[in-house]
Amino acid sequence: METRDGADLCFPQLLNSSCRKPTLHWSEAVLLNIVLFSISLVTVALNLLVIISISHFRKLHTPTNILLLSLAVSDFLVGLLLMPLEILRRTSCWLLGDIGCSMYVLLVTFIVSASTGNIILISIDRYVAICDPLHYPTRITETKVKCSVCLCWLWYAAFAIFYTKDDLIQPGRSNTCFGECTLVINYVIGTVDLILNFIIPVTVIIALYMRVFVVAVSQARAMRSHTTDVSFQHSLTLTPRKSELKAARTLGVLVVIYLICFCPFYCYSLVEVNLTSTSYASFFFFLFYCNSCFNPVIYALFYPWFRKALKLTITLQILQPGSCEANML
C-alpha cells in the first residue's frame, strides 16, 4: 500500500486507516466557516428571542404561541447543535469518533423531524382558527396543545431511534476511514422517512393551507360585495377578514420556503444513498437546516407582539419586576 504523507492525514498515527484532511484552501475555509457560523448564530439568536418572549410574557401563553414555542425550541437546537456539527463534518476532520457520529445522525433525525411535526400542528391550528373560528376556543385549548406537543416530540424521538438503529448498534459502520462521519441511508428506512417526513407533511400542509386560502378569498369577496352595512358594522367585519387574508399570505410564504428548503434534500436522497459522497451534499444539508432560520421570521417577526417583546428584551426591561404581566397583544 502506498504510504500517505502524515501531514495530510487526520490521524497521522493511524497511517493506513486515517482519512485525509479536507483540501480547502485556508482562505476558502475561513470564508466558508464565517458564512456558515453566521447563519448558525442568526438561527440561534432569532429562535432564542422567540423562546424568551413567549416564555416570559404571560399574555402570550396562548395555544398558537405554545406551538410557536415548540417550533422555536426545535429550530434553536438546529442552530445550536446541528449546524456547527455539520460545519465541523464538512470543513475539517471528524474528531468526535464513531459514537459521536452516530449521535449526530440521531440528533439530525430527531430535531429536524420534530420541527416538521411542529409545522404540521401549527397548520392545523391555523386551519381551525380561520375555517371554523366559532369552535376554535373549544377545539384548540392549552391543555390539548401541550399534550399534542409532547406526543409530537415523543413520536419523533421513537422514529429517530428506529431510523438510526443500525448506526447506534454498530457505530461507524458506514465510515471508510478514521476522521470521517458519513450518512448512508438504508433503502427501506429511507423510503419510510421520505413518506413520513416529507410526502405526508407536505400533502397535509398544502391541503390545509389551500383550504385556508379559499376561505380567506371567499370572505374577501363577500366583504367587497356587502355594501349595504352601516359603517360601524363594516368596520367590525373588515378587521378579521383583513387578518385572515394576511394569515393566508403568511402561510403561503411558509409553504414556499418549506418546499424550497426540503425538496432538494429529499430529491437528492432519492438518487444518492450516501448523503455525504458529493460536494452538493453539504449545500443540501445547510439548505435543509436553513428552514429553521426562516421559521422565526415567518411565524414571529410578522406579529406585532414579537416586535414589542423584542424591544423589551433588547432593552433589558424584562428584568424589571412585574414585566411578565405586560400586555403584549
Into how many domains does the chain fold? Answer: 1
Whether 188 maps to a domain, the answer reads yes
Burial class (CB in 10 A: 0-12, 13-18, 19+), 174: buried
Which pLDDT does position 230 carry in this prediction?
45
CATH of the domain at 150: 1.20.1070.10
Whether 86 maps to a domain, the answer reads yes
Which pLDDT does position 240 carry in this prediction?
45
> Residue 169, by phi and psi: left (phi above 0), alpha (psi -120 to 50) or beta?
alpha
SS3 content of the chain, % helix, strand, coil (to 5): 75, 0, 20
Residue with cell 429517530: 160
Whether 82 maps to a domain, the answer reads yes
Range of the domain at 252: 33-225+232-322
Whether 318 maps to a domain, the answer reads yes
Which pLDDT does position 228 carry in this prediction?
46
H or E stretch including 118? helix 97-131
Whether 327 maps to a domain, the answer reads no
Whether 244 maps to a domain, the answer reads yes
Residue type, 135: H
The structure's pTM equals 0.85
Number of H helices, E strands in the chain: 12, 0
Whether 72 maps to a domain, the answer reads yes
* Contact criterion met (CB below 8 Å) for 93 and 317: no
Could you report the per-residue pLDDT of 225-273, keeping only the tens digit for each? 654 454 444 444 444 455 555 666 776 787 788 888 888 877 777 766 5
Whether 282 maps to a domain, the answer reads yes
Which pLDDT does position 234 carry in this prediction?
45
Low-confidence ranges of the chain (pLDDT < 70): 1-7, 15, 24-25, 185-186, 219-248, 251, 271-281, 300-301, 329
